[in-house]
Structures are given as structure tokens and as C-alpha cells.
Chains A and B, each alone.
Chain A
């Protein structure tokens, strides 16, 4: 059990003093990087969302945006690198090796850490997925740098440092976190939090390849098999065009049925606030918010949800937010587009009927599940 050998960058001393000036050896760290996550030949969409966010940071800093593509040797990895240029990359770093076919922490940590140490970015962004969080924690600890998890907003400050904003615990507050004295500044962002940038056809640009430098015997962990999820098992909540959700204001698990019925008539997905999952009324894959799914539908209808910050960050990207709440002072009305102060338990069935009549007059007899 040994510790990473890299020396900490800052000497001891008062925090205020050490936080001001970036140590000399970090000043060469430049450019914004996005880790491009692949699983089984597929790029996770969060990587392209991060390219959009990374492009803005790079433009503000007047530096380059690089995609870091790590994966098996061959078509899929090369394709991912090429694709990155269509999402705004100025260049790509690529570590391609058969040993990287499946995600394994040891090999991916080595690959990413090596590229970072060699080419020295100032900002490194990863998706807050199971892969991204597994990797980010290892890489940040190896580099002994700061990592801000699950950011909802990324910006650069006037002095060029990364301002990473995320909700704080409990209260309806956000906090902005800085990594002042260390490089790279690392952050993860959950899928769907950043908008998907437009894909613009672009020729493949500069690609810098870097060797992995491992043989299979160096990697202790073996992947014995992989069982892909059946598509039917996945809820499409995160990508739905219309979402109807219910919260504690519905009062009982039976009343949650009203949410499902409206969703069914609208061809929508249904979701809920976290307490309903904790109470066991609804399964956890239906939770919307900071610790659930982030949604970006065209229409979001929230019934009996107060609009706590942890919920808000998961729905703010919706085009049209409709809030149904008995309390005219509920925080949800601060970010909803359309609000109605009324009892959701009575309104939901009426809405279901009204939409049913209006949208498909010939299917009145269809039974909502």
C-alpha cells in the first residue's frame, strides 16, 4: 500500500496565502480537455455535451479544446476521435490499445494520467457516469488535484480559473468551487445537464497518439463477461420529449397513478421527486433531479413538487415547465414558465380527460395504464 509519489504542489502555510498564486510549475498547464467516454464502441452522449461546454470555456480562455479518446485499437476509437472534430475539437489525444477494449480502472487511469502529465491541460472535464466517476476519482487522486463532482454550471473567472457550480446539501443553495493552486482543474458533469451542441461536419484534424505502455499481465482486473442491458429495461425518461412528474403533494402512492395516466395519454414518460423513491412509491429509475435523471423535454409537467434546488437542476433544461401546486409561494414557480395554483389531485384527471379529447378524439375508449 503505497501512496502516489508526486509531491504536493503547495507548501504549508496559511490557506489564504497559498491560494492566491498558481505555483510556477503549473503555469505551463494550458488548454481545455474533454474525456470522450466510450463503451463497447459507442460514445456516451455526455461527452459531446461536455464538448459544447468545453468549447465555450476554451473560447473564453482563448485556448484550444482537445478531446481525449481512450479505447481499443481500431475503427471505433478512430471514429470517436474523428467525430470529436464535428463537436468542436481543435485537436485530439488518442490512446488506442487492445487492452483498452473493456473499461478497466487500472488501464484507463494510467492512460489518462499519462496524457495529462505529458501534455498538461488546465481543465479536464469528464461525464459523471459510472465510468467517469470511477475514473475521475482515481485520476484526481493520482494527480493530487481538485475535482468538483456533478457540476451544473461551468464558467471561467476573470483571472482564468474554472468556476464550477453545483448544488449544496440540503438547502436551496448553489456553491461555486475553485481549484486555485493545482492543475488540471477537474470537474464532472452529469448526462443531459449541458445541452447537446450541434454537430457540424468537419474534417479530421490534428490527432496526437500516446502509447498505453502496459501489457495484459500488468493489469490485475479481468473482465470475465459483459451483460448488456435489454433495451426494454431502460426507461427513456432522460430523452423523452414530454415528461409528467409527481411529488409529495400527491399525498399517496395511489394518487401517483394520476401522473401515470396523464403521461400515458400524452405519450410521455413519467417521473417523480426523490421522496417518492425513498418512500417506495416509485422505482428509483424514475427519480428526476440531482441524484436522479436530468431531463430536457419540450414539455415538463410537475404536480405537487415544491421545486427544491436538487429537483430544479434536473429539469431546468426543459423548454416549457408547467407547475401545479396548491401553494402560490412554492419555489417551483420561480423557474416554471406556466403555473397553476390548484389541487393536483383534482386537476390531473381533468387534464388527462381534456388532453385525451383534444389530442385523439377517436380513442376515447383507450384505457390508460
Chain B
């Protein structure tokens, strides 16, 4: 069995600082991590491989430094890493990203064997759209199972898979055919630590590095900024509310009383509403 896991290298949001004057984020020096949501996809893939045999290939599109994340994935136990890197990919929105990833996955199939499963995380912590997984599936003509909490059965002989998919009001138990794409829900497993052997292998392993051309991209205008139907026209700081916050003065009343007095003065109905609510509990 061959599983491809798409991961993304993202800035560690816990470490992000905002420039006090320009209000833009200071990416420089911010450590990068594997998008945390992708680790659930990676672990699910590794677990399936351990159970059924086969190989896990991790794929990322990004700057050359994204090789770090791929190497990290190798230390967790992935078998192969592919980095898709080219200046033509810069500035891609979700549609252009899915074009590049889908092309690379096709190439991975030709080079290392057709994937039975493609995994992505639920979403990234930077773009946050949750649209790349479904987009890649559509471009590859794969069936898709999104928000998967659990893979309950995999039958490689009959090429079927059963999974629990989170929906708004419950859990759908779905069965579909391989190959398919799965986006994994968070907190559904815990990434393994990876052993010494994996660490050594990762240190020595070659990260397969492809340019757009290497990956088989035929139409460069479908990539990056040029291939993106959406454009960011304006970036701006949110406005403060026109009316300034009333700051509660508690120089001669206990702060709690001063605050409550201000609330009830401002919204007289609130007191009865709160009393009703409080009684309900």
C-alpha cells in the first residue's frame, strides 16, 4: 500500500510577534513547525502502514527550508519525502495550491507507485481554509472523506475503506472505494515519538526535491500568484469601535460593585434578564 501525506510548514503561531508600528507579523526568526493538524494525518497514515504494510510518502510545497519539516516527518517514521519548490509556486491561493499538489501526487504515483490513500490535515493554522484537501481530491478525481475521526476498516483486496466522519449534528459512518483522500480531524490520535533508527535514517535520507518542471507541471500559469483566482486587495488593521469603552472607575467602591453598577446603568433590562437566567440553573 502507498500512502501520500500532504503536510505544510507553518510559522509557530505561539511565537508570532506583531510589529508594534506596522501591525504586520514578524515572520523573521519565527520558528517553523509542521502544521499541527497535519500530524494527525501523518499518524493515521503511519498506523495504517504498520498494520497493512507499504510505504508512506510525505509531500510538501514550500520554500527550500520546508525540507526541515519533511525531515521531521521522516523522524516520525515516514518512508520518503518529496519537496515541491519553485518560485512559480509563490503566492498560491487554495486553487493554485491544489493544482501544484495534485500534479506532484500524480508524479509521485508514476515514480514510486500509485497511492491508495492521500491524507491531509483538517486545515492549516495559517491559511485556515480547510479547502486544500477537497480541492486536491477533486483535481485527482479521488473520492474524499473529510473530518475523519476514525478509520474503522480498510480492505486492500476489495479496495474499500470505512470511516467515521464528523458532521454538524453527529457522526456519519461512510464506506467508499480506494483510492481516496482523507482529511483527518484533530485530537484523533497522538503522533508517535519515532525511534532512534528513524532519526538516523532521517538524517541520512535524501529529500526528493522537485521544481515545477520536475513535477510535471505543464502550465505554469496555473501555479502560484498567476494561477490564483483570488487576490488580496487590502490588508488593514481592524478599526477601534467609534464609541470608546467606558472605563470603570473604582476609586471609592469595590471594583466588583462598581462594575455591576455600570452594567446595570448601561443596560437596565440586564438585571432582570440575569436574574431569570440565574434562576434557571
B275 within 8 A of A: yes
Could you say which residues of chain B place their CB within 8 Å of the CB of A226?
167, 170-173
Q: Judge if B188 is at the interface, Cβ distance under 8 Å.
A: no
A334 contacts the other chain (CB 8 A): yes
A174: B residues at CB distance < 8 A? 235-238
Instruction: Convert B208-236 into 0s and 1s, putting 1 for each residue whose CB lies closer than 8 angstroms to a CB of A.
Output: 00000000000001100110111111111
Q: Is the CB of B235 within 8 A of A220?
A: no
Chain A interface residue count: which class? 35 or more
A241 and B277 contact, CB distance less than 8 A: yes
Contacting residues of chain A (1-27) with chain B, CB-CB under 8 angstroms = 1-4, 8, 12, 15, 19
User: CB-CB < 8 A to A109: which residues of B?
Assistant: 138
Which chain A residue has the least Cβ–Cβ distance from B222? Answer: A8
The 6 closest A-B pairs by CB, nearest first: A137-B134, A267-B277, A146-B229, A149-B129, A350-B256, A170-B25
Q: Which residue in chain A gives the minimum CB-CB distance to B269?
A: A298
B233 to A178, Cβ gap below 8 A?
A: yes
Contact call A227/B238, Cβ cutoff below 8 A: no
List residues of A (211-265) whose CB comes within 8 Å of B's CBs.
Answer: 220-229, 241-242, 264-265
A interface, CB within 8 angstroms of B: 1-4, 8, 12, 15, 19, 39-40, 42, 44, 102-106, 109, 128-131, 133-134, 136-138, 140-142, 144-150, 163, 168-182, 220-229, 241-242, 264-268, 275, 278, 284, 290-291, 298-299, 309, 312, 319-320, 322-323, 328, 333-342, 347, 350-351, 353-355, 358-360
Q: List 19 A-B contacts (CB under 8 A).
A: A3-B102, A40-B169, A106-B143, A130-B167, A133-B131, A137-B135, A170-B13, A176-B236, A221-B176, A241-B277, A323-B245, A333-B245, A334-B240, A337-B243, A338-B259, A339-B246, A350-B255, A358-B271, A359-B275
List 14 additional contacts besides A141-B139, A174-B236, A347-B259; criterion CB under 8 Å.
Answer: A103-B172, A129-B168, A137-B134, A138-B137, A141-B134, A147-B95, A149-B130, A170-B11, A171-B19, A179-B229, A226-B171, A267-B278, A328-B247, A337-B266
Do the beta carbons of A178 and B23 come within 8 Å of each other?
no
**With A42-B169, A223-B172, A360-B275 known to touch, is A142 a contact of B18 (CB < 8 Å)?**
no
CA gap between A358 and B260 in the complex, in Å: 9
Do B169 and A228 touch (CB < 8 A)? Answer: yes
B241 contacts chain A at the CB level, 8 A cutoff: yes
Contact B13 A227 (CB under 8 A): no
B106: Cβ under 8 A from any A Cβ = yes
Q: Does B29 contact A (CB under 8 A)?
A: no
Question: Chain B interface mostly helix, strand, loop or mixed?
Answer: mixed
Interface presence of B40 (CB below 8 A): no
How many A-B contacts at CB < 8 Å in the complex?
297
Residues of chain B contacted by A340 (CB below 8 angstroms)? 247-248, 250, 255, 258-259
Q: Are A137 and B175 in contact (CB under 8 A)?
A: no
A229 CA to B278 CA, complexed, in Å: 27
Which residues on the A side are within 8 Å of B143 (C-beta)? 105-106, 220-221
Size range of the chain B interface in the assembly: 35 or more
State whether the Cβ of B66 lies closer than 8 Å to any Cβ in chain A. Answer: no
Contact call A266/B277, Cβ cutoff below 8 A: yes
* B136 (CB) vs chain A CBs: closest residue: A141
**Known: A170-B25, A226-B173, A339-B247. Contact between A267 and B229, CB under 8 A?**
no
A144 with B229, Cβ < 8 A, contacts A137-B130, A137-B138, A169-B128 known: yes
A185 to B235, CA, bound (A): 19
B195 to chain A, nearest CB (A): 26
Contacting residue for A144 out of B95, B147, B174, B263, CB 8 A: B95
Evaluate contact between A138 and B138: CB separation under 8 angstroms. Answer: yes
Shortest distance between the CB of B101 and any CB in chain A (Å): 11
Contact with A along B167-196 (1 / 0, CB 8 A): 111111111110000000011000000000
Are the C-beta atoms of A338 and B245 separated by less than 8 Å? Answer: yes
Contacts of A241 in B (CB 8 A): 273, 277
Query: Nearest residue in A to B277 (C-beta to C-beta)?
Result: A267
Distance between Cα atoms of A334 and B248 in the complex (Å): 15
A176 & B232 in contact (Cβ 8 Å cutoff): yes
Given A169-B25, A354-B260: A175 in contact with B234 (beta carbons within 8 A): yes
Out of A104, A319, A355, name the residue touching B274 (CB < 8 Å): A355
Which residues on A sit within 8 Å (CB–CB) of B241? 334-335, 337
Closest to A356 in B: B278
Closest residue of chain A to B138, judged by CB? A141
Is B237 within 8 A of A299, CB to CB?
Answer: no
Evaluate whether A353 and B256 lie within 8 angstroms (CB atoms) in the complex, with A241-B277, A359-B274 already known.
Answer: yes
Question: Which residues of A sit under 8 angstroms from B128, Cβ to Cβ?
Answer: 149-150, 169, 290-291
- CB atoms of A175 and B102 under 8 A apart: no
**Within the complex, what minimum Cβ distance (angstroms) separates A171 from chain B?**
4
B14 beta carbon closer than 8 Å to chain A:
yes
Give CA–CA (A175, B232) in the complex, Å: 7
Residues of the A chain whose Cβ atoms lie less than 8 Å from the Cβ of B133: 137
Assembled-state Cα–Cα distance A312/B168 (Å): 24
Query: Within the complex, what minimum Cβ distance (angstroms) separates A162 from chain B?
Result: 10
Given known pairs A146-B230, A222-B174, the reply for A173 and B260 (CB within 8 Å) is no
Chain B residue at minimal CB-CB distance from A263: B281
Whole-angstrom distance between the Cβ of B10 and the nearest chain A Cβ? 8
Known: A15-B226, A338-B263, A354-B256. A137 touches B94 (CB 8 A): yes
Contact indicator A220/B176 (Cβ below 8 Å): yes
A220 touching B275, Cβ below 8 Å: no
Q: In the complex the two chains form, is B95's CB within 8 Å of A338's CB?
A: no
CB distance from B22 to the nearest CB of A (A): 9
Contact with A along B110-152 (1 / 0, CB 8 A): 0000000000000001111111111101111111111100000
- Contact assessment for B230 and A178 in the assembled complex, using a CB-CB cutoff below 8 Å: yes
A354, B167: Cβ atoms under 8 Å?
A: no
Which among B138, B235, B271, B277 has the highest number of chain A CB atoms within 10 Å? B138
Do residues B18 and A181 form an inter-chain contact, with CB atoms below 8 A? no
